[in-house]
Chain A
Amino acid sequence: MMSIFMELTPLQLTFYFAALLAIVASLKVVTGKNTVHALLYLVVSLLAVAVCFYLMGAPFAAGLEVIVYAGAILVLFVFAIMMFGLGQDETLHAPSVNGRVDGSKVNKFNLWFGPFLLALLLLTELVYAINSGEIQAKLTSNTIDAKQVGILLYGPYLLAVEIASFLLLAGLIGGYHFAKPEGVGLDRKKDIGEHG
């Protein structure tokens, strides 16, 4: 085992290390008690995955991961938590009696055992499926750069892009509507009614 390990090139080693980091960070996200800490762990995980992407020969994807995923989506998370005070339960919370959102009881064994078992089963299954598939493919050193991705995006996947924009529009409108506080639209209606 150690000999295989020694045969790896530094870049491969980096890949495995980044993968390990991603896994550990994800575990900390899932078992975290503090919301903001968990978010930051998530950011770490995403960054580690970006490293993996780069080492897999997909620099464009790595860049997107950092900029869009970690840089926009998770920042949105952080903004929402900060602005609407969504994370407060976890930090100040004392153990509650009827088991409502309870930060301190997060690490109970009973809580984790069943899901852990299920996840383990699923994982075993997946790994087995992957291994038995005899995938011989190995990644080569060729990178697939942004230009190639762009050609595809503007070519065969044009419609997909348009549909993705629809999705974003829907998300935008939905987000605006749902996040609206109560009573905001009513004044407008009253205005319209008065004026005619």
Chain B
Amino acid sequence: MNDTMIPLMTETVLAFLPFYPLISFLLLIGFGKCLSWRVAASLSIGAMVLSALSSLFVVTQLSVDVPVITSHLWTWFSLSLTEGANQTTASININFYLDGLSAVMISVVSGIGLLIHVFAAAYMKEDENFSRFMAYMNLFIVAMLILVLADNLVLLYLGWEGVGLCSFLLIGFWYQEKENVLAARKAFIVTRVGDTAMAIGLFMLFKELGQLTIVDITQSAQTLWITGDDKAYWIALLLLGGAVGKSAQLPLQTWLPDAMAGPTPVSALIHAATMVTAGVYLIARMNGIFLLAPEVMNYVAWLGAATLLLAGVAALAQSDIKRVLAYSTMSQIGYMMLSLGAGAFSAGVFHLMTHAFFKALLFLTAGAIILALHHQQNLFKMGGLLKRLPFETALFAVGLVCLMALPGSSGFFSKEAIIAQLWSSNTAGPLLWYCAIFGALLTSIYSCRLFFLAFMGESRFEQNLQPSSSKLLKISLIALAALSLVGGMFANIIDMSLTQVFPLVARSTKSEPNWLHTIAIATPFVGIIFSWFYFSSYRSKGSAGLNQNNFSESTSGIANFCRQGLGFDCLYHWLLVKPYCSLAKLNRRDIFDQLIMLNAWYVVLCHDVLKSGQTGKLRWYAAAIGLVTFLLLLVLSVGALSTEAS
């Protein structure tokens, strides 16, 4: 009886997993105004705890014998496609599908999500819209869980759109400020471009293969198509478009820096740990299709590398602490894309997990620092925080250590795993290896710059600091720091569970040079030493003058160019936004509305014509009678004529 009970229980737990935060969302939205901080916080955190515990339970049930757990909730709808005599019917169900990949994702989402919720409860305590905030955060978790647990692409798309919506709601949370709303709108629209590409890819998939369940798709694709098939190429390209939008890679990366307008927990949850990794998840999940299109995998790798370098360069010129972290996220996701493109799926997913740990830690610590400095975010107005905020400094340093992938940290294990597989991959190669190394160098340089500017040197912040004394804050930060440091130990477990998900990717048989690993490990140290000397002005005693005119942020052309995201914002503005806006201005009177108004205009015209006959003059009316008599006689005589003739 135990044997049959436990799977049933697991399925039930799996089925309810995403819905605890949903209930919490509904309650908070419905009764948010009347709830006190305590009640709202415990409601939202409690839901997250339940989800985290359920995911823990479900994950432990996975083993070598039970590689997959599925749970069927209900049938959503059926689609049928008739082509000639064939009729394929696919029924889209609400099913949850748990394998190694989903297990990693739900652990990350619910675990990190829980910690971030705890932090947010303390961070947003003074905000008057606290319940609304926690409600949106919970809704986001629901959508993300549905996304990673979906067994068919339609349900995945539902989750995909859900996270896009919540991202919009949360970025523009402080909607009274115009920039926040504009940033939210920009994020939504840019990701929408990617979503459209993905939707077209879904349509093509259904048309070609007749089904949308991921497992079935992978099977039929492998039987129907050969590697390098045209259809696989286009579908993979479209799915890549969707992934690029959500994960803020080239060319749709412009929304992520602006998205920092949202509160810091939002940046941590959505734009570091979970939503931006949805693209990575999509590519990993659809590896069946991608493996059938090696050119697209090459594109993925190159896109990842390009984003990696672009973001690294841009991060060197930023002056806002959160924007540095945003570009850093962009860069790290570039790493993940690079590894997926090279066929190293497990390494990419592992890096996703460790990145979630340390990036969330970095963002939340930055949030704590910003709060202590009365919402000051400019690096050139910080400094010397090592002495004034030692706790936060230590945590931030832990995060940076992981980011730079110094030996021993979790970031080290994941990044080395990626870099190791680049050289001899079929779809990547030595050139991309060099890009990855250069990217690692850039990472260490900007991390050191950030650290020196914010924490070392003289203090440039004159007012009193107000470090938060909330226990919740500190607990969540310490938990994240611990995970970042020891996360490397999970490598084996993760690898084991992921090998059952991802097929083995063929590697080229070129021999690798011996110095590969040595250089890869040494790179961060080279970067640290370089920045120690190059940015010495930032960390020295004379750095108090940095917020004066001499040593403030460089205003040279190149620096400005880099600061504004290497001109992409400008490019899109001139290429897309301005023409569209001028078209909209041209159509201000709305040509379709005018066409419909044509009807009304015509009626008014007729009315005017008739009205002009109402002169009120007697003679006019008499003449009208005469005219009509004439016409009547005309009609009658013509009628008489025609009857005569016929």
Query: Residues of A at under 8 Å CB distance from B?
Result: 114-115, 118-119, 121-122, 125-126, 128-129, 132
Contact = CB atoms under 8 A, between A and B. Distances in A.
A8 to B, nearest CB: 30
Contacts of A118: 623, 626-627, 630
A132 B634 CA distance: 13
14 contacts: A114-B623, A118-B626, A118-B627, A118-B630, A121-B630, A122-B629, A122-B630, A122-B633, A125-B633, A125-B634, A125-B637, A126-B633, A129-B636, A129-B637
Give the size range of B's interface with the partner. 10 to 19
Contacts of A114: 623
Contact of B637 (A121, A122, A128): A128
A126 B634 CA distance: 10
B640 interface: yes
Contact of B640 (A125, A126, A132): A132
Interface of B: 623, 626-627, 629-630, 633-634, 636-637, 640
B637 A132 contact: yes
Contact of A115 (B623, B629, B630, B633): B623
Nearest to A133: B640
A119 B626 CA distance: 8
Contacts of B633: 122, 125-126, 129
Contacts of B630: 118, 121-122, 125
Contacts of B636: 129
A122 B640 contact: no
Nearest to B632: A125
A118 B626 CA distance: 8
A186 to B, nearest CB: 31
Given A122-B633, A125-B630, A129-B633, 8 more contacts: A115-B623, A122-B626, A125-B633, A125-B637, A126-B633, A128-B637, A129-B637, A132-B640
B601 to A, nearest CB: 30
B630 to A, nearest CB: 5
Contacts of B623: 114-115, 118
Contacts of B626: 118-119, 122
Contacts of A132: 637, 640
A132 B630 CA distance: 16
Contacts of A128: 637
A69 B606 CA distance: 46
A119 to B, nearest CB: 7
Contacts of B637: 125, 128-129, 132
A157 B39 CA distance: 101
Closest 8 pairs (CB-CB, A-B):
A125-B633, A122-B630, A121-B630, A118-B626, A125-B630, A122-B626, A129-B637, A129-B633
A160 to B, nearest CB: 26
A127 to B, nearest CB: 11
A101 to B, nearest CB: 13
A117 to B, nearest CB: 10
B191 to A, nearest CB: 71
A125 B630 CA distance: 7
Nearest to A123: B630
B643 to A, nearest CB: 12
A112 to B, nearest CB: 13
Contacts of A129: 633, 636-637
A125 B629 CA distance: 10
Contacts of B640: 132
